[in-house]
Amino acid sequence: MSKRKKWGFISLGVIVVLIVGGLLGASLYFYNMTVASGKKDFVATGTTLKKSDPLYSQKKWYQDVPKQRWTEKAAGADLKLVADYIPAEKATRRTVVLVHGFGSNKEAMGGYAAMFHRLGYNTLIPDTRGQGQSQGKVISYGYYESKDYLKWVNQVIAKQGQHAQVVLFGVSMGGATTMMTSGLKTPSQLKAYIEDCGYTDAESEITYQAKQMYNLPYWPLVPLTSAVTKAKAGFYFKDANALAAVKKNHKPMLFIHGGADTFVPTRMVYQVYRADNGPKQLLVVPGAKHAAALSHNPTLYEHKVKAFLAEYLPE
C-alpha cells in the first residue's frame, strides 16, 4: 500500500470517528433533554399563580384546600411515588385520577382538580415518576408511567372497595399515558378515560419536536437517541405508543384537543380517535393552544366532561 493511500485511510478513519463521536455526543445531549428527569426550560409547568390566569380561583383553591398524602411504589422499580388526595364534599366512591404532563408536576393540575371537585368527585393527583416529589431519573413518555397509574387506580379501589368507580384523566404526556393505560389489563372499576392533547406515540412527537425546535430531520438523531434511551432507560421511543394502546381499549374515552395546538399537533387527536375501539367522544376546542383547552373555554370544556361522565358513570 502506498504511503498516500495509507494516509488516506487514516484520514477517513479519523473523519468517521469524529462523525460518530459527534453524533453520539448529540444523542446523549438530546437524551438529557428528552428523557432524563429534571427541569425542562422549554416546558411551561403552569405552577406560578397569576391573577390574570382565567383559572386563578380554581388553582388558588387547589393550593389552599386540605389534602391527604398518598404514596405508591412504582411499577417494576424501587421508587417512591407521592400524590395529593382531595375527598369530595359529599361522600362518594367516584374518583378521578389526574395525570400531569411532561416536565410538570401535580401542582399544575389545580384547574382540573377544582373542576372535578365541583362535579362531585374525589380527586387523586400524583406526581409522575421522575417529576415533582416522586422519585426517578427517567421520563418514559407513558411507557412506564401507564403501569404506575394502574397501581394508583388499584390503590383507590383497595381503599374505596369493589364498588368504586374510577376515571383516569390526563393532559399532554398525561393524556398519552392515559391512552397507554387503556391498552393494559385494567380492573372493572376503572370505568372511563379522558385524554387531553396526548400524542400518538413518543417517536412521532419527538421527531416533530426535533424539527420544530431544532430544524433537525428524523435521521440520524432520533433513532440514535432512541437507541441510547434503550441502553440507559430500557425502552425505545416507539414503545411509548398510545395509538397502538387505544386499539386494545373497549372502555369509554373522551378525546380533547386544542384546535390551535402546535406542540402536539391537532392532527394527532384524529388519529387516536379513529383508532380507538371503545365508546368514544371527541372535543376539539377552536383556538385553544397546547394544554390550554380548559382555560380557553372553561364552560364548553366542563360541560362536555360533565355530559360524558353522566353518560358512562351515572349516579
- The predicted-structure confidence for 22-67, as pLDDT tens digits, reads as follows 556 778 898 999 999 876 555 555 567 888 999 999 999 999 999 9
Sign of CA dihedral 97, 100, 106, 108: negative
What is the CATH code for 35-201+240-312?
3.40.50.1820
Determine the pLDDT at residue 30: 87
Amino acid at 133: Q
Distance from C-alpha of 99 to C-alpha of 124, rounded to nearest angstrom:
9
Question: Do 153 and 126 meet the contact criterion of CB atoms below 8 Å apart?
Answer: no
Determine the pLDDT at residue 27: 83
Which residues of the chain register pLDDT less than 70? 1-24, 39-47
Determine the pLDDT at residue 15: 33
Distance from C-alpha of 192 to C-alpha of 311, rounded to nearest angstrom:
10
pTM for the model: 0.92
**All structural domains of the chain with their residue ranges:** 35-201+240-312
| Residue whose C-alpha cell reads 386544542 in the numeric block | 258
**Nearest alpha-carbon partner for 298 in 96, 125, 112:** 112
Alpha-carbon dihedral angle through residues 51, 53, 54, 55, given to the nearest 10 degrees: -90
Determine the pLDDT at residue 19: 37
Amino acid at 165: Q
Determine the pLDDT at residue 45: 52
- The predicted-structure confidence for 132-172, as pLDDT tens digits, reads as follows 999 999 999 999 999 999 999 999 999 999 999 999 999 99
Distance from C-alpha of 154 to C-alpha of 18, rounded to nearest angstrom:
51
| Residue whose C-alpha cell reads 427541569 in the numeric block | 39
Q: At what angle do helices 221-233 and 202-214 cross, to 10 degrees?
A: 130
Cα-Cα end-to-end distance for the chain: 86
Radius of gyration of the CA atoms of the chain, in A: 21
Backbone angles phi, psi at 12, to 5 degrees: -60, -40
With residue 80 as reference, give the H or E element that holds it: strand 80-86
What is residue 128's DSSP assignment? P
Distance from C-alpha of 73 to C-alpha of 134, rounded to nearest angstrom:
10
Distance from C-alpha of 292 to C-alpha of 288, rounded to nearest angstrom:
6
